[in-house]
Structure formats: structure tokens, C-alpha cells
Structure 1
């Protein structure tokens, strides 16, 4: 029998919905979704197979969390602190995927006493240069003729869902993973709060300009978990990040942006090895980028 998912609403100026599972030890993994106008649910599998306690919040304005008066990253940081406090967690291992990866980095930098380790999944610490994907003909073909979906007015959650489905070939590398991914998207509660901020020109990125330096100064164990064929955050940024953060290690999977869908077993192996403690001991020489 599998572990049971529980639901909890953390009250505040903006109520935050949290899906959570009990674990078998004292470790807690706080997993932050991307989108950002998605919910947490696309990350449940395979994270639900980990042994630690899992906290998967919906960011403000997303999924079943409340709508907010503003969407500045500092407000999101306050939300995450409230989530940890509500569950009595002093320090958590923090994972962020895609946009959530930048949120997770900001949380580690601004609240280092609350973070035990950091996993940057399908995201990047360094900014993505404008020519990052130059010459990648397969990516060019997938994106050819696609209009920017966020330029239209009157967007609805159904529009955001339609864009997620349309972008599936960009995000999934393994053809055999595509049917399950499309079914997964059917269960996501999409929203429009964040894209409205984007359209209004008021959306503030959670990425801090000196993130790599500041994370290195924290002396925090960091895992860069990446897909070799990620068409959103280029894998080429992994190696220079390792050079900047001495305690970082990297695992590169034969996968795309949704690497936890493309290669769930490799994803779990990498997380279990990292969260199991081997990569957390002081003085351990951490690994370089390598396939699992």
C-alpha cells in the first residue's frame, strides 16, 4: 500500500495549500513547483516514493492556494517560511523545479538557517544567455512558427493548460514518456495570476543576480539535477556553476526539461544518494557532472 497524501491549508494574508506525506525519518523535503501558473501535482510522481517527509505547496495564486495582492518573490519567501513553521520544520532539504528552482535558490540565500540542502532541478543558478540554444536545429524546428501565447488578452486557465500541452514536445525528450505526461497535465490546476503580472510588466524574477556567489558562501550542499536535452535551461550552464559553487555536485540525466517524467528512476536514484547523507558530510569531495 502506498503512502497517503494529506492536505493542509496554511493561513495568512494569502492562504497556502500544501499536499504532504509523512516520512520515516527526521528529514523533510520542501518541493517547489514551476510554471509558475501550475500547481504542485506534476511533481508528486516520483517524489512520493522518497522516504522523507514531503511538503509540496502551491505557490500563491496557484492551484488551491489563495490569490494575493502582489506576487513579488519576497512575499513567496514569507509564504514558504509560514509553511515550514506550520509543520514544525526548522530546516528542510529544498528542491525547486524550473521557475521553482529560482525560487528555491532565493529561499536558500535569504533564509539560510531554514535550508539543509538545495536541489536545483531542471533550472539554473546562472542566467540563461540569449544565444544559449544557438544551432540546436531540433529545438528550432519544435519552436518554429509558434507565437508567444502570453501576448493575447483575456487569458483563462484553459489557455495556460493548452500552452502546457502544446509545449509538451519541448519539455519531454523520451517519446514513451509522452502519454503519461499528457495525462498528468489533465490533473494540474492551472491559473493565470502570474501570467497577468507578466503581461502587466510587473513580474519580478526570483533570480538574484549574484546567486552563485551567495550560495557558495553559504557552504551548503547543492545538487544540480538536469536533463541533457533540456530546451528551457541549457545543460551547458551546469559545469560553470560547479566551478563557482565548491560544494555543488551535478547529475545529468538523458532527459528533457521534465526530467522527473522522462527518467523517474534515474531521478530518484540521484535524489536518494544526495538526500541519504553521503553528499552532506563535511570534507567529502563532491562529484562533477555525470550521467546516472
Structure 2
């Protein structure tokens, strides 16, 4: 499992994924600069190919020749690059709350609700008085209303955020202009060539990566399918945890 953020850690995905532990061996690493992994690295250390090499090293360390991979949000972009870099190491690929094609710049132009819901988070990122992990956590909390649909899930989501060891290494690399996009240059063509079965798992109301992109990618990649969950936004595993996990478990069988 490859978490997103990217300055978060793996813990926000432990539930409901942890329920698979009785049937699957789970590897939930923290990316470099995140959680319990190495911090304080130079901005140039966050090259996507170097991060993919880290993930391959994790598989090697656990003597895992071949693994099913789930990449969530930003982690979904890294998962695609991992699959293309080492297709022989990948069984099945789940791209969750992420995208294969780039997000068009005008995709949310006619969505006033998104502007309202994203305003609080954007204000945190634009506040130059905020720095470090505290800024990352503040942005995560400010973006909660945009990332969830179900109000009843909000309190539990904030408790989950309180357990994350937030960092700022990736944001620092981005602010320094050293963060190269992990997106593949020809994602449809390159993923198709891997031969990996692909599941694109998405919330209908995702305001980060529109669900239409998942449908488009699934229609163009052989052995790929998209499943769009109603009543779910970007954090679809929190809005609809039972259904989300059932879909993941069914795909991994």
C-alpha cells in the first residue's frame, strides 16, 4: 500500500485495510520524508524514480518477489510508476482516489461548491506564517469538508488525522522547485504494456481527482475496470469503508 499526502503517513489507511490482514500479508510503508521514515532529506531527494526504488527495496527487504499494490491519491501516481518500472514485481494494481490521465485545468471551472469547500485549505497553503508539519496538518483539517461527503464520518476523520505523523519534506521540495511530477509521460500506453489487471476505485464526489477520469482510463486500458462509489468523496475508504473494502478484497482474490 502506498499512501498519499504526500506529507502524511500510512496510518490514515490502516482502517479498513487492516481487516485484510487475516487473508493477506500487508506492507504499509511510510514514504521517505514521511511518518517514521527518514526526515530532513534535501529537496532533490524526492525524485519519483528514487521513491520507486525505495518501494522496490521494501519488497526486497520482505523477500516479496511479487505483490498486489494499492496506491491512494498521490500514492496512486507512484503506484503507476512502480508498475511500469518493475511490472514483473506487480500482481494486481489498485489506483484509489487518484487518476491515470492528468486532471484538465478547467475540469472544476463550473463547480462553485468546490471553490467554497477548498477555500479553507487553500488559505492555509497561502499563509506564509505557517510552516513545517503544523501547516500540513492544518491544511488536512481545513480540507476535511471537501474530502468527505458523510457528516457522520467527520469526527472519526479528525481523530484519524490526530494520529498521523505529518511532515513537510515534500512541501519543502515543491516550494524549492525540486519536486518532479510522478506522472508517467504516456500513462495509458505504459500501463497497458504492463499487462497488470487494474482497478480504478473512486468516490463519485471526489473534488481532487474527478471520477470521470477513472471511467476514461478504464475504457482505454486492457484488463482495467473502474468502480465509482456513490456517497463518497476523495476519502472514499472513510465515507464508505465496508463497501470500499469489499471491492478491494474482491479484486484481490
TM range (shorter): over 0.9
Shift of 1:154: 6.2
- CA separation of 1:144 and 1:190: change in aligned 2, threshold 3 A: closer
User: Who is 1:158 aligned against?
Assistant: 134
User: Who is 1:32 aligned against?
Assistant: 2
User: Who is 1:142 aligned against?
Assistant: 117
Shift of 1:139: 1.4
User: Who is 1:274 aligned against?
Assistant: 251
- CA separation of 1:109 and 1:134: change in aligned 2, threshold 3 A: same
Answer whether contact 1:96 1:104 (CA < 8 A) is retained.
yes
Counterpart-to-counterpart distance in 1, 2:65 and 2:216: 32
Are residues 1:65 and 2:56 paired?
no
Aligned with 2:219 (options 233, 239, 243)? 243
Answer whether contact 1:96 1:120 (CA < 8 A) is retained.
yes
Answer whether contact 2:48 2:182 (CA < 8 A) is retained.
yes
How many residues are paired up? Answer: 246
Deviation string, structure 1 residues 245-264 (Cα, Å, up to 9, x no partner): 02101111120000001100
Shift of 1:151: 6.1
- CA separation of 1:137 and 1:160: change in aligned 2, threshold 3 A: same
Shift of 1:243: 2.0
Counterpart-to-counterpart distance in 2, 1:150 and 1:189: 22
Shift of 1:134: 2.3
Greater percentage in strand: 1
Q: Which has the higher contact order (CA 8 A, sep 6+)?
A: 2
Counterpart-to-counterpart distance in 1, 2:8 and 2:138: 12
Q: Which runs of 5+ in 2 are unaligned?
A: none
User: Who is 2:18 aligned against?
Assistant: 48
Shift of 1:117: 1.0
Are residues 1:174 and 2:146 paired?
no
- CA separation of 1:148 and 1:110: change in aligned 2, threshold 3 A: same
Answer whether contact 2:94 2:198 (CA < 8 A) is retained.
yes
Greater percentage in helix: 2
Relative to the length of structure 1, the TM-score reads: 0.81
User: Who is 1:257 aligned against?
Assistant: 234
User: Who is 1:75 aligned against?
Assistant: 50
Counterpart-to-counterpart distance in 1, 2:194 and 2:113: 39
Counterpart-to-counterpart distance in 1, 2:112 and 2:224: 31
SS at match of 1:93: strand
Relative to the length of structure 2, the TM-score reads: 0.94
User: Who is 1:126 aligned against?
Assistant: 101
Answer whether contact 1:122 1:225 (CA < 8 A) is retained.
yes
Counterpart-to-counterpart distance in 2, 1:258 and 1:171: 6
Q: Which runs of 5+ in 1 are unaligned?
A: 1-30, 277-292
User: Who is 2:85 aligned against?
Assistant: 110
Shift of 1:155: 1.1
